[in-house]
């Protein structure tokens, strides 16, 4: 079976194209697509939508009930996703939609993982230097992972900058084993 992100890509692209042309705006679409992905993460909803007795109309009604204020063009998107039995990939669609939106706005998300808690000032300084390196406005998402031992790991899109002690130890180990 194809990877979920591969299946999600054309739907995210179609939703993004519709959102750019939509009168409700990109932000409204982004919020709606995120909400749709959250809806299909609820076990009760998954159970209903997975039931073979549930028709497409019933599935669409579930989304309408949970998110009653969806704009018409978002409802049309939901109908397309349901009719093609792709509602399970809504989280991946939302993720890719957000990436497309960020690219369009000239920004990206920087997933910063540190061995220790960073102060707001440290995060701001790191983001400033990363913005110069990646030539894009960055929105930080900061996590702590003590397994890194020290340093930070930064992921921006498909690029990884890993200056953690754990990564250095791994590189040293690989070098020693290779020799």
Shared domain check, 89 and 4: yes
Partners of 108 in the beta sheet?
A: 138
Residues 27 and 72 in one domain: yes
What order of strands is seen across the sheet that includes strand 137-144?
137-144, 107-114, 152-156, 159-162
Write down the pTM of the prediction: 0.73
Sign of CA dihedral 67, 71, 74, 78: positive
> Quick one: pLDDT band at residue 15, thresholds 50, 70, 90?
very high
95 & 119 share domain: no
pLDDT-derived band of residue 2, with 50, 70 and 90 as boundaries? low
Q: What is the CATH number of the domain that holds 63?
A: 1.10.520.20
Q: What is the DSSP letter of 21?
A: H
Residue at a domain's end among 63, 82, 103: 103
Instruction: Specify the pLDDT at position 106.
Output: 87
* CA-wise closest residue to 101 among 156, 31, 8: 31
Tell whether 98 and 118 lie within a shared domain: no
Q: Burial, 63: exposed, middle or buried (Cβ in 10 Å; 0-12, 13-18, 19+)?
A: buried
Q: Average of pLDDT values for 86-104?
A: 93
How do residues 110-149 score in pLDDT, each as one tens digit? Answer: 999 999 999 999 999 999 999 999 888 999 999 999 999 9
> How is residue 55 written in tokens?
């028709």
Strand pairing class (152-156; 159-162): antiparallel
Beta bridge partners of 159: 156
For 31-79, the pLDDT digits (tens) are 999 999 999 999 999 999 999 999 999 999 999 999 999 999 999 999 9
Do 47 and 117 lie in one domain? The reply is no
Looking at 55, 75, 103, which one is the last position of a domain?
103
Q: In terms of domains, do 111 and 73 share one?
A: no
Res 5 pLDDT > 90: no
Q: Are residues 95 and 116 in the same domain?
A: no
Q: Which domain holds residue 65?
A: 1-103
Asked whether residue 178 carries a pLDDT value surpassing 90, the answer given is no
Here the CATH number for the domain that contains residue 154 is 3.40.30
**Do 131 and 63 belong to one domain?**
no
* Same domain? 36 vs 22: yes
Q: How many structural domains compose the chain?
A: 2
> pLDDT tens-digit profile of 149-167?
999 999 998 899 998 999 8
């Amino acid at each position: 079976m194809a990877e979920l992100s591969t299946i999600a890509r054309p739907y995210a692209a179609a939703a993004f194209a519709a959102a750019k042309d939509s009168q409700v705006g990109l932000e409204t679409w982004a919020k709606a697509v995120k909400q749709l992905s959250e809806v299909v993460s609820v076990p009760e909803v998954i159970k209903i939508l997975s039931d073979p007795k549930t028709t497409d109309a019933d599935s669409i009604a579930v989304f309408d009930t949970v998110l009653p204020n969806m704009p018409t063009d978002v409802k049309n998107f939901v109908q397309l996703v349901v009719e093609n039995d792709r509602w399970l990939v809504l989280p991946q669609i939302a993720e890719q939609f957000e990436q497309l939106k960020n690219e369009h706005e000239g920004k990206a998300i920087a997933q910063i993982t540190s061995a220790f808690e960073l102060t707001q000032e440290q995060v701001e300084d790191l983001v400033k230097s990363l913005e110069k390196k990646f030539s894009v406005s960055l929105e930080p998402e900061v996590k702590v992972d003590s397994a890194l031992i020290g340093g930070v790991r930064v992921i921006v899109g498909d690029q990884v900058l890993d200056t953690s002690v754990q990564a250095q130890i791994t590189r040293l180990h690989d070098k020693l084993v290779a020799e």
